[in-house]
Amino acid sequence: MRTNLDFAPFYRSSIGFDRIFDLLENASLNADNWPPYNIVKLGEDAYRIAIAAAGFAEDELTITHEANMLVVNGVKSEDEEVQYLHHALPVRPFVRRFELADHMIVEGAKLENGLLVITLRKEIPEEMKPRRIAIETEMTKPASKQIDGDKAA
C-alpha cells in the first residue's frame, strides 16, 4: 500500500523535515503485523512498548537502539530432535522496527509472562530546552535565564 500523496509542495516551503516525509512514505513498508504489540504513553515523556513474545527465551531476543530506531529481533532456536505431531503455535522469527523521536532513550527491557516490555523516555538535553533571552537596553546588560518547558509554551 503506497501513498499517492505528493509531498513536493511541502518540500518547497519547509526545511529540515525530510525525515518526516520519509516516515510517511515508508509507513506502509512495515505492514507485517507479527508479532502483535502495544505502545502505551505513561506520562508526558514516558512510553512503554509491549511485544507478544510467547515462546521466546531472553537469549532468543535482541533489542538494538540505533539512531532514531529501535529494532527488536526474535529468532527461535530450532530443536532438531523434537518431532511435532501437531505444530500450530506461531513461534516464528521476527524483526520489529520502531521509529523513535529525537532524544528518546531506552531505559530498560524485561521479558515477563510472554511479553517483552521495553520502557522509553524522552530526555531533552539542557542546551536544547527553551531559555529566555533578555532584551538589551543602555541601562542593563544581557542576561539569559533557563525557563521551564511549561512556561515556554
Q: Would you give per-residue pLDDT tens digits along the chain (153 residues)? A: 445 667 777 766 777 767 676 776 666 555 678 899 999 999 999 999 999 998 899 999 999 999 889 999 999 887 778 888 998 887 889 999 998 988 999 999 999 999 999 999 999 888 888 889 888 887 766 555 666 665 555
Reduced to 3 states (helix: H, G, I; strand: E, B; else coil), residue 59 is helix
Q: From residue 146, how far is each of 42, 103, 143, 153 by CA, in Å?
A: 26, 19, 10, 14
Predicted confidence at residue 138, as pLDDT, reads 79
Predicted confidence at residue 34, as pLDDT, reads 85
C-alpha cell recorded at residue 61 = 531476543
Between CA 52 and CA 104 the distance in angstroms is 22
Between CA 11 and CA 26 the distance in angstroms is 17
pTM for this entry: 0.69
Q: Residue 131: beta bridge partners?
A: 146
Between CA 135 and CA 143 the distance in angstroms is 8
- CA trace torsion 89, 93, 95, 96 (10° rounding): 10
Predicted confidence at residue 97, as pLDDT, reads 92
Scan for cell 521551564, then name that residue: 148
Amino acid in position 115: L
C-alpha cell recorded at residue 119 = 520502557
